[in-house]
Structure 1
Amino acid sequence: MADIQRAAGISNLDADTGDARPAPRRKTLSSPYLHRLQRRHFLLFDIIPILGTIAALGFLTVHPFGFTELGLLASMWLLTGLGVTVGYHRLFTHRTFRTTRGVSSVLAVLGSMAGQGGMVSWVALHRRHHECSDRAGDPHSPNLAGGGLRGRLRGLAHSHFLWMRRHEYPNIAHYAPDLLRDRALARIGRRYDYWVLLGLLIPTLVGGLVYWSWAGAVSGLLWGGLVRIFVLEHIIWSINSFLHMFGTRAFDSRENSRNGGVFGLLTLGESWHHNHHAFPESPSFGLAWYRLDPGYWLIRTLAACGLAWDLKVPSTERIAARRVPRTAGTATGPAT
């Protein structure tokens, strides 16, 4: 009976009125249906890009890699990558700034085209990650698989790739109610599959028109579509895996996030991961002008054009107050 009540959202009867009290909202959900959806997404959007990258290399014998392929790969990577870091991450997950309806809609579409999951689910997963970072409940920590070399390798494999096959699904009603209430964004989120297809169709059409051939269209699909998804995915997944195990730290925090500043450009600023965990409300992950953070550069550009406001950058004094003194932090190293 208790299981039936919990499944129905009802707990024990109120002792005074005899009325049913609603059960506490579950933070995560797990069911065969959800696990089937996870396996399907894993195959479609995680495995197929790997196969597409192998196919792209093989297709070089038919159609050489040229400036068109390079331009499609770079431009589609940049646009969809900014959609993830500025849209999915800094705007929708952490609300680090405010913007217009048009800008938020464009960022939601670009983030969806990256093929890393629907907007609402992505936000819920990332908020769950911050809540439970490197503790039980973190969906992709590399530090929960045991000690020793074997445990570290298992943890890296899990956090980088394998966790997406099957995991507890964060309850979006608990973790992302703000997005569910936003009808325009919710409509965009429900069309996630269409946006991924659009992200594949655009480079296909461009390649076909530039070369005016089916081989050009296929080459555009492979390099601007599947290879681009593969590259961006592994860049983002490296934040989950390697930057919770290797890198530098400058602030006192309970989790094991790290900075990898040398990858600032490649990750569009996401590699300042320890800084982000220390100040998740900040649109700037670098926290200083000389640290490469292209995602923040876009937000600052939007702000200069009057399209972004209420940027919640922490003050210099607040950053200094959180910083671990160099003599105390030598075990983990200073920020780079």
Structure 2
Amino acid sequence: MPILLFFVGHWYLSLFVQTFYLHRYAAHKMYTMNRFWERFFFLLTYLAQGSSYLSPRAYALLHRMHHAYSDTDKDPHSPHFSSNAFTMMWKTKNIYNSVLNDEYELAKRFEGDYPTWNALERIGDHWMSRIGWGAAYVGFYVAFVPATMWYLYLLLPFHFLMGPVHGAIVNWSGHKYGYQNFDNNDKSRNSLFFDFLTGGELFQNNHHKLPMRVNFGVKWWELDPTYPVIWTLDKLSVIKIKREKSAKEPVPLAA
């Protein structure tokens, strides 16, 4: 039971910071927050992602490129230019590192308006931090995995690469499998009607049409489980939503 709770907790906490902070805040600035809360969620992102920590700046730039060049050869992680999810992840990793080191020319037009914390960035991206977090995950498993359930150690790679695993699921499935509400001139899809797996991120077709809509669900039966959290944080004045939906929101295609 401790291993299951740890895995599920790590999965959803890491997922939350990725969709709430890296995606909806750093990349899109769908809402504002004061300096204290920006630093709080920045630190939470590092703690939640641990060995797979992703820089808010680099994430924002990659994601802005993804929207601008969706499913073209300039898209940093379109599944339609990779033979499988693993090669797509490797390609994305290489582009991410280039962006992180200011070596990727295509990303430079998207610079600005994202949270920065240079000291924490250096810690999060340092190999000692990544190995330290990985060792902590292994130590937890050693402490709580029964000898007869050795196969639970097969979950450890997911802990090591939690952030990229979430990204791979979203980018592979969200641009290959599912249905479309809108014709976006790309291959974005909505893969689930209740996105319990990636916290709303698998409503890719909706999001590509309405990139500033905080609620990724559009039809009444599409449930984005991160949105109620964002709505609550807005009511508590932790954040301030800029706009909940586009003023001229397009009508979805007929079902």
| 1:288 to 1:248, Cα distance in 2 relative to 1, 3 A | closer
Ranges in structure 2 where 5+ consecutive residues have no aligned partner? 147-152
Ranges in structure 1 where 5+ consecutive residues have no aligned partner? 1-66, 146-153, 209-214, 327-333
The size of the alignment, in residue pairs, is 238
Length-normalised TM-score, structure 2:
0.77
**Do structure 1's residue 93 and structure 2's residue 32 form an aligned pair?**
no
**Do structure 1's residue 292 and structure 2's residue 223 form an aligned pair?**
yes
Length-normalised TM-score, structure 1:
0.61
Q: How does 1:280-319 map to 2 (within 5 A)?
A: 280-287=211-218, 290-314=221-245, 318-319=248-249
User: Are 1:144 and 1:155, in contact at CA under 8 Å, matched by a contact in 2?
Assistant: no
Cα shift at 1:100: 2.7
Whose radius of gyration is greater, 1 or 2?
1
Q: Which one of 254, 279, 299 corresponds to residue 210 of structure 2? A: 279
Cα separation, 1, equivalents of 2:38 and 2:135: 22
| 1:241 to 1:257, Cα distance in 2 relative to 1, 3 A | same
Cα separation, 1, equivalents of 2:155 and 2:233: 26
| Aligned-residue CA RMSD (Å) | 3.2
| 1:279 to 1:185, Cα distance in 2 relative to 1, 3 A | farther
Cα separation, 2, equivalents of 1:135 and 1:177: 24
Q: Which one of 106, 109, 113 corresponds to residue 178 of structure 1? A: 113
Cα separation, 2, equivalents of 1:93 and 1:225: 29
User: Are 2:195 and 2:202, in contact at CA under 8 Å, matched by a contact in 1?
Assistant: yes
Q: Which one of 63, 66, 70 corresponds to residue 126 of structure 1? A: 63
User: Are 2:54 and 2:163, in contact at CA under 8 Å, matched by a contact in 1?
Assistant: no
Counterpart position of 2:125: 193
Counterpart position of 1:40: none
Q: Which one of 127, 134, 143 corresponds to residue 216 of structure 1? A: 143
Cα shift at 1:131: 0.9
> Structure 1, residues 262-314: CA drift from partner, whole Å, max 9, x if none?
46011111111111111111221113564322222221121121111134221
Cα shift at 1:226: 4.4
Cα separation, 2, equivalents of 1:73 and 1:300: 26
**Do structure 1's residue 69 and structure 2's residue 6 form an aligned pair?**
no
Counterpart position of 1:84: 18
Counterpart position of 1:238: 169
User: Are 2:200 and 2:216, in contact at CA under 8 Å, matched by a contact in 1?
Assistant: yes
Q: Which has the higher contact order (CA 8 A, sep 6+)?
A: 2
> Structure 1, residues 214-237: CA drift from partner, whole Å, max 9, x if none?
x31789xx6896433446533431
Counterpart position of 1:329: none
Cα separation, 2, equivalents of 1:116 and 1:254: 32
User: Is the deviation greater in 168-177 or in 283-292?
Assistant: 168-177
